Amino acid sequence: MRVKSILVWLIVASFVPSLAAAEELYGVGPAAKQTASATTKSAATQPTSRALRKNPPNVVDILQHVEDADRWSAGTMTNIAVIADEPARIALGYRERDFPREGSWTGPEVETDCDFTDLIASFNPHTPDDTGITLEIRVKQADTWSPWLFMQSWGRVVFPPTRTIKFDGGAVDIDTIELTKPAKAYQCRISLIAFNYDTKIAPSVRRLSVCYSGAVDDPQEREKLRPKPTTLPANFARDLPVPFRGQGDYKNPRSLWGLICSPTSTSMVLAYHGVTFTTVENCDRIYDPQYDMFGNWGRAVARAGEVGLDAWLARFRNWDQVKQEIADGNPVIASIRFRKGQVQGFLYESTGGHLLVVRGFTGDGGVIVNDPARREKGGGAIYPASEFAKAWFDNGGVGYVIRKPAKPMPASLVRGPTLRGATPTAATTSPASPTTAPVAATLGR
């Protein structure tokens, strides 16, 4: 009997390393895809594709903001007021003819500096309880305008919102307009709504950001449109003190561990800027009920905006652009993806979509990150720049830029802790946490 027990023990023990390894890879590779597919809703709400996408050659990215009274005033408004006080913003008006109270701002038609095939957009909202905001964009291809394409809603809106995400010339893939033929203009429409009875309590938007991208074959024109090269030295080194959090921290519900790379990364950057909420409260706000996911880029940016920071989506194509942000004291949240065998030197072999914080650089060019996928090893991990570029720049280079505003936001425009009884706390991690938290599943990005 003792011999049989020993044999059983040896057989079980021989499987422990492989079981542990499987746990270390939870949330990535095939397991991540299975987790993602299990949490999806109807096909109508799902993204059009999840294929790995390389950068088109000769790409140019143009980032444009609407953030001052003059630019807001250039739009066409229905029951909307432009408030010139800092920060300049649009707010829902006082008209009470219907319930819920509604208004809309339609921006001017914007002729772009180059033809584009991709567009991402974001906004910084203020939505008191029972108010909401919806962003739609249309594009002009040849002489034809697309229908208004749904990009994002925030706060309380009529649910489900009437929305179009596909047309003959392209589609919206969650938070990105992807076109099958180039466009040469775009137009934005913001709808604001309030379900309350106090006209003094209204939603508002203080920043609208659009980044469009297209290939420019003319070298001189391309050079003119691209950002000027940085003057930072080649051996630039700086490490911003971004406090680390892991997705799998025991303070977070286990059901979220494989899905919340975006809220966790956002939480770290908010805490770095002195705006500290629990990761779970940020998850509650960032969660996208329409796509059943936490990885909607625009919603993470909106969360940063509603708690008093300036935030937007941008595309990064080289390390000089990122280093300039670090030099200015701003960490960048990077959206990466790669298949097994494509990238070396990371803490995992593949991911269908993941977000992490770039917090600095070593003197020899290593990229210092806070990677929420690993509880114990993710804080201050160093990834090879050349490999990181494959995972990030070669897949669109999308990043969250989150900064302190030039002047603090008025308290009346900053959302405080309201959900689940949460209160702002210091950023901490659990020293007793095991080794690995799951990398974001495909729909977690």
Contact (Cβ atoms closer than 8 angstroms) between residue 232 and residue 203: no
Radius of gyration of the chain (CA): 23
Q: Is the pLDDT score of 417 beyond 60?
A: yes
pLDDT in tens, 297-314: 999 999 999 999 999 999
Angle (CA) 340 346 348, round 5°: 55
Q: Is the pLDDT score of 171 beyond 80?
A: yes
Task: Please list the residue range(s) of the chain that carry CATH number 2.60.120.
Answer: 59-215
Helix pair angle (279-286, 297-306), 10° resolution: 120
How confident is the model at residue 178, as a pLDDT? 97
Mean pLDDT of 419-426: 42
Half-sphere exposure of 150 (CA within 13 A, CB side): 17
Residue 421: strand, helix, or coil: coil
| Residue, of 148 and 233, whose pLDDT is higher | 148
Contact (Cβ atoms closer than 8 angstroms) between residue 134 and residue 93: no
Note the maximum CA span of the chain.
Answer: 86
Half-sphere exposure of 4 (CA within 13 A, CB side): 1
| Four-residue CA torsion sign, 283, 391, 327, 64 | negative
Residue 364 exposed, middle or buried by CB count within 10 Å (0-12, 13-18, 19+): exposed
How confident is the model at residue 32, as a pLDDT? 54
Q: Is the pLDDT score of 126 beyond 60?
A: yes
Contact (Cβ atoms closer than 8 angstroms) between residue 285 and residue 153: no
- For 383-404, the three-class secondary structure string (H helix, E strand, C coil) is ECHHHHHHHCHHHCCEEEEEEC
Q: Which of 232-236, 239-243, 246-250 has the lowest mean pLDDT?
A: 232-236
Cis? peptide before 160, omega within 30° of 0: yes
**How is domain 238-444 classified at the CATH fold level?**
Cathepsin B; Chain A (3.90.70)
Contact (Cβ atoms closer than 8 angstroms) between residue 346 and residue 383: yes
Q: Is the pLDDT score of 411 beyond 90?
A: yes
d(CA 185, CA 183): 6
Task: Please list the residue range(s) of the chain that carry CATH number 3.90.70.10.
Answer: 238-444
Which one, of 223, 231, 303, lies nearest residue 268 by Cα? Answer: 303
In angstroms, the Cα distances linking 253 to 70, 104, 247, 373 are 45, 38, 10, 15
Q: In whole numbers, what is the pLDDT of the chain averaged over residues?
A: 85
How confident is the model at residue 280, as a pLDDT? 97
Give percent of the chain above pLDDT 90: 74
Cis? peptide before 434, omega within 30° of 0: no
- Dihedral of the CA atoms 377, 378, 384, 386 (nearest 10)? 150
Mean pLDDT of 27-37: 41
The CATH label, of 1.10.287, 1.10.10, 2.60.120, 3.40.50, for the domain at 59-215 is 2.60.120
pLDDT band at 418 (very low <50, low <70, confident <90, very high): low
Sole residue written with tokens 């936001």: 409
Q: Which of 1-15, 98-112, 364-378 has the lowest mean pLDDT?
A: 1-15
Pull the structure tokens for residue 47. Answer: 């993204």
DSSP 294: S
pLDDT in tens, 200-222: 999 999 999 999 999 999 999 99
